[in-house]
Amino acid sequence: MRIFVTGGTGLLGNTILRQLSDRGDELISLVRGEPTAEVFEGINTEFVSGDLNSPEVISDAVARSDGVIHSAGLIHIGWKRLEESMQVNRDGTRVVVEACLNHSRKLVHVGTVNTLAIATREQPADEETSLENAGGQVPCSYVLSKRAGVTEVLKGVEQGLSAVIVHPGFMLGPWDWKPSSGRMMLEVGRSWKPIAPSGGCSLCDSRDVAAAAISALEADVQSGRQYILAGENWSYFDLWSEMAARMGRRAPLMPAGPLQRWLGSTAGDLWAAVARETDLNSAGVKMSSQYHWYDSTRARQELSYQTRVSAESLDAAAEWIKERHL
């Protein structure tokens, strides 16, 4: 097969390209500038230059492909950069959808569990859980723009698009060049963090998610079908303790309480008002206080999704972060 992949410099997109290249598929990769040799080393791919808002470039690449995996996106957990997030995650997805419709190509769209329901400590969420469950997701720029991207795909399905939507959990693994999810481990490794977030996430391995995304491209399933690609459900306190051990740091003392969450939210939002919005802001604090715990049964049954133990993912991510970013 010849497969067009967006987001090839990101953790998941780069892993998808490596797995496809290893099995001998022909590849087309979208890059915004001159591709970095190191990032694409070992990947046999053609490059096309442009971005998600380059309709002619996208259309030509889709036309010359047998299928498309759209993993590119902008991640900003905060209240600002909404317009920029929409341009990438909504408008860029619309361009990909229109090209797939015009050329009758199947699309695998990479969403995120942050577009779905959240869980409680007692019950993980799945694809059918109400979006209002446990108070719902925080309506920050990332959540709103990624939901808008999913909406564009579903609109395309109504017009005849063949598409599958996959929603990864919190991914760790090698090939995290920027880094993306690995930023959390990087920050834990840079200095001792006495206070951990009070919520939790569903930890998965980018290599397992990549394999499932490829499987989704080949699966004979109903168009518009959505799948959670998550893993083991962790509290952030336990996860940070495991990260700290691998990065040679002391474990946190406690999860954040109401006072710590208020201080972090207030300080972050004040700084955003006078300078720029960082990862510490009230949206991020609130999201990290929720339980993003998920059940991937549907993906296991219909996409043969398999997950490795978290220790293997943590070890690989820690090795990558220490070698590349510290």
Q: Is 165 left (phi over 0), alpha (psi -120 to 50) or beta?
A: beta
34-38 contact pairs (CB < 8 A, 24+) = 36/9
What local confidence, expressed as pLDDT, does residue 33 receive? 87
pLDDT at 28 over 90: yes
Contact of 172 with 317, CB cutoff 8 Å: yes
> Which of 228, 243, 224, 196 shows the shortest CA–CA distance to 292?
228
pLDDT tens per residue across span 263-296: 999 999 999 999 999 999 999 999 999 999 999 9
Confidence of residue 134 (pLDDT cuts 50, 70, 90): very high
Q: What is the DSSP string of 240-254?
A: HHHHHHHTT-PPPSE
Report helix angle 92-103 to 55-63, nearest 10.
40
What local confidence, expressed as pLDDT, does residue 115 receive? 97
Residue found under tokens 């990332």: 142
How many Å apart are CA 35 and CA 40, to the nearest integer?
A: 7
Whether this model's pTM surpasses 0.85: yes
To the nearest 10°, the Cα dihedral for 30, 31, 37, 41? Answer: -20
pLDDT tens per residue across span 68-77: 999 999 999 9
C-alpha distances (whole Å) from 173 to each of 107, 139, 203, 310, 321 are: 24, 28, 10, 10, 9
Distance of CA 50 to the CA centre of its chain: 21
Q: For residues 326 and 221, which has the higher predicted lDDT (pLDDT)?
A: 221
How many Å apart are CA 30 and CA 241, to the nearest integer?
A: 37
pLDDT tens per residue across span 176-195: 999 999 999 999 999 999 99
Domains of the chain: residue spans and CATH: 2-324 (3.40.50.720)
How many Å apart are CA 69 and CA 11, to the nearest integer?
A: 14
Cβ count within 10 A of residue 259: 8
Contact of 204 with 170, CB cutoff 8 Å: yes
> Which of 298, 313, 35 shows the shortest CA–CA distance to 166?
298
